[in-house]
Amino acid sequence: MGDPNALTNIDWVNISNWLTMYWIAFPLVIITAFTLMIAHAFIPSAIQTGHLPSVFGRLVWPLTFVAVAVWVVAWIFWISVMLLTPEMLGNIYERFLV
């Protein structure tokens, strides 16, 4: 490894693109987690204890589908930012893969 260089304008633009996509994807991951938690933990537990009628059991698969769809959208954001700025990956992996 050589001496570190100052970040260029292009590097700052790439970092901005990465951070923007990650901040867009972060709430999507949170939405996925809470939707799966509601669908597979809260609803079955509430049905079993009698707090909800058994008709709410029909919501498990639609909520799971919504969670998977939101998760796929988050992955599309992550992959798109990596494809938009491939030179940044080279800079990162050059330092971490020895």
C-alpha–C-alpha distance, residues 78 and 7, integer Å: 22
How many domains are contained in the chain? 1
The structure tokens 């954001």 sit at 77
Residue 1 lies in a domain: no
C-alpha–C-alpha distance, residues 15 and 53, integer Å: 49
What's the pTM?
Answer: 0.73
Amino acid letter at 10? I
Residue 2 lies in a domain: no
> Domain containing 80: what range?
9-96
Residue 43 lies in a domain: yes
Residue 3 lies in a domain: no
Q: 5: which DSSP letter?
A: -
Residue 4 lies in a domain: no
What is the model's pLDDT at position 79?
Answer: 85
Give pLDDT tens digits along the chain (98 positions).
555 667 778 778 878 888 888 898 899 999 999 999 999 999 999 999 999 999 999 999 999 999 999 999 999 888 887 787 776 666 655 655 55
What are the residues whose beta carbons fall under 8 Å from the beta carbon of 88, sequence distance 6 or more? 11, 14, 15, 18
Residue 42 lies in a domain: yes
The structure tokens 């991951």 sit at 29
